[in-house]
Amino acid sequence: MAVYGDVIVAAFNDSRGFYCPSHSTVGWAFSFDGGQTFTDGGTLPGGLTPWSNGDPWVAVGPDGTFYVSGISNNFRGMSISRGTITADGISWTDPVQATFGSNGTDKEALAVDQNTGSVYMAYDVNNSRVELVRSDDQAATWTTPTVLPPPGGIGSFPIIDANGRLYVMWLAGWPSGNQRLVVSFSDDFGQTFSPISDISPVCPFNVAGFSRGQVPAFPSAAIDRSGGPMDGRLYVAFHSACAGVGNAYLTSSDDGGQTWSEPTTMNDDATTAIHYSPNVSVDDLGNVSVFFYDRRDNPGSSTTDVYFAQSTDGGATFGPNVRVTEVATTWGATASDITQTSRQTWAITSHRSAWGPTCSSPGRMVAAGIRMRILRACRPRLWVRSNLLSRSNCYQ
């Protein structure tokens, strides 16, 4: 999910791609009223092959140009389109291949330099290496891939500070029992990268109702640009069970990612329930806001809510957690070809959030297994599960 003024663009894995002949597995939607309502955008231009395998990411540049990316050609490349705001929606260009040729290309993520407009894409290849490409012409052409330092991994997250330093965080060691979050940075626009620094060890755990067992502890990163006392601080949110139960954690760095603070637990309950897949953002006042999946209300089950936590002291402490979802989702009872994963995006505003689309509702986004109270866009990815899909209710 990405935001420019009152315009919000969200992208999601769309199960209609498995049922509806005219749909790819990348869906998208837009809002012109700050998230009060969303319109389903349907299938992106270019046909189905460039958007064949989902995992979309959305970002926006300093001039309001939107970008949407996704896995193409059966995990052999990454497509990206440029979007322009029009009177009645978003006009997307035909996709180009930001990278192509490596089998097992997966889990791309975008970052746009808000000073130069350059677009960066990080991704992994077979969980064995992390690569990065850059475009300086609004995603029209791309550099050859730069391979980041070992170890390889998955779930790379690029982010750029106010001085143009590019950081890439990722999860190394998945799906083994020896996992850790690492970071590397570049001061020459992604041409070379520093040796990695460790962020935190990760102790994995399985999530009931998730068809792939472990939900990977992909990092979510944010930078304080408030001009306040924590200006420039790097934050990374993740989940881990090193304390014996799956908790949501936040760690920070004040020295460019070289060293990291002792992780702070963000969930404030005393249950043995799991909390996972946190996503972090920092607002203009330096407040640190985090959303995460949470099962405190139904421990030991697959029934899942979303909770919110906020820190006003640079992540040292968090206020009382707030439940965001009005109705919980029972993951074990929701049928979907694309299971919900840990790269969920939540909006942090005062409006109402987007619902997931179904084949039977072409115009307006409707609830698909989860309802939420609203909050404001902090991260460019939205994943959708729906049990309302069938071949008989596909629409064009």
**Residue 327 neighbours by CB distance under 10 Å:** 10
Residue 22 is assigned to a structural domain of this protein:
yes
Inside any domain, residue 376: no
250 and 392 in a common domain: no
- Does 45 have pLDDT greater than 80? yes
Is 139 part of any domain? no
Confidence band (pLDDT; 50, 70, 90) for 15? confident
Q: Is the pLDDT of residue 339 over 90?
A: no
Residue percentage of the chain with pLDDT more than 90: 80
Cα angle, residue 139 at apex, residues 94 and 10 outer, rounded to 5°? 70
Q: Write out pLDDT tens, residues 354-377.
A: 333 334 333 333 333 333 333 333
159 versus 384: the higher-pLDDT residue is 159
pLDDT attached to residue 23? 87
Q: Report how far apart, in Å, the C-alpha atoms of 270 and of each of 229, 292, 329 are.
A: 32, 16, 22
Cβ-based neighbours of 295, under 8 Å, separated by 6 or more: 273, 274, 275, 301, 302, 303, 304, 305
Kindly state whether residues 251 and 288 are assigned to the same domain: yes
**In the chain, what percentage of residues exceed pLDDT 70?**
84
- Calculate ∠ Cα 224-226-228, nearest 5°: 100
Q: Does pLDDT of 188 surpass 50?
A: yes
9 Rama sector, left if φ>0, alpha if ψ -120 to 50, beta otherwise? beta
Please state the pTM of the whole predicted model: 0.87
Is residue 294 within 8 A of residue 308, CB to CB? The reply is no
Distance CA 156, CA 181 (A): 10
Question: Are 25 and 158 part of one and the same domain?
Answer: no
Specify the number of domains making up the chain.
2
Which residues are CB-neighbours of 244 under 8 A, at least 6 positions away? Answer: none
Q: Between the CA atoms of 72, 64, 238 and 191, what dihedral angle is there, to the nearest 10 degrees?
A: 70
Band of pLDDT at residue 335, cut at 50, 70 and 90 = low
User: Over 90: is that where the pLDDT of 315 sits?
Assistant: yes
**CATH assignment at residue 168:** 2.120.10.10
Q: Is the pLDDT of residue 76 over 70?
A: yes
Residues 333 and 302: beta-carbon distance below 8 Å: yes
Q: Supply the pLDDT for residue 391.
A: 34
Same domain for 234 and 331? yes
Does 325 lie in the same domain as 189?
yes
- Classify strands 197-202 and 329-330 as parallel, antiparallel or unpaired: unpaired
pLDDT of 387 higher than 50: no
298: pLDDT confidence band, cut at 50, 70 and 90?
very high
Co-location of 40 and 179 in the same domain: no
On average, the pLDDT of the chain sits at 87
Q: What end-to-end distance do the CA atoms of the chain give, in Å? A: 24
* One domain, residues 187 and 237: yes
Average confidence (pLDDT) over 284-297: 98
Query: For the CA atoms of the chain, what is the radius of gyration?
Result: 19
For the beta carbon of residue 135, count every other beta carbon within 10 angstroms.
21
At residue 22 the predicted structure's pLDDT band, cuts being 50, 70 and 90, is: confident
| 279 lies in the same domain as 199 | yes
What is the structure's pLDDT at 242?
A: 97
Q: Measure the CA dihedral 348/352/356/357, to 10°.
A: -140
H helix intervals, the chain: 16-19
Give yes or no for a contact between 184 and 165, defined as CB atoms under 8 angstroms apart. no
Determine the structural domain holding residue 24 and report its residue range. Answer: 1-118+345-371+383-396
Torsion of CA 310, 311, 316, 322, to 10 degrees: -30
pLDDT band at 178 (very low <50, low <70, confident <90, very high): very high
Cα–Cα nearest to 347, from 26, 34, 113: 34
pLDDT band of 263, cuts 50, 70, 90: very high
333 and 349 housed in the same domain: no
- Distance in angstroms (rounded) separating the CA atoms of residues 311 and 320: 10
Shared domain check, 243 and 181:
yes
Closest alpha carbon to 314 in 277, 288, 353 = 288
Q: What is the pLDDT of residues 82-108, one digit of tens each?
A: 999 999 999 999 999 999 988 999 999
Q: What's residue 272's pLDDT?
A: 95
Q: Which whole number is the average pLDDT over 184-202?
A: 98
- Which position has the token pair 């779930």? 155
> How much is the pLDDT for 207?
95
pLDDT tops 80 at residue 276? yes
pLDDT at site 273: 97
Is residue 75 one of the residues assigned to a domain?
yes
For tokens 């990080």, name the residue. Answer: 122
b/e sequence 341-374, b meaning 16+ C-beta within 10 Å:
bbbbbbbbbebbbbbbbbbebeeebeebbbebeb
In a domain, 323, yes or no: yes
Instruction: Tell whether 293 and 321 lie within a shared domain.
Output: yes
In-domain check, residue 131: no
Worst-scoring range by mean pLDDT, 98-102, 115-119, 131-135?
98-102
Looking at residue 350, what is its pLDDT? 26
pLDDT at 334: 60
Q: Does 55 map to a domain?
A: yes
Q: What is the mean pLDDT of residues 184-209?
A: 97
pLDDT band, residue 247 (cuts 50/70/90): very high
Claim to verify: residue 165 and residue 269 sit in the same structural domain: yes
125 belongs to a structural domain: no
Q: Residues 253, 261: contact at Cβ < 8 Å?
A: yes
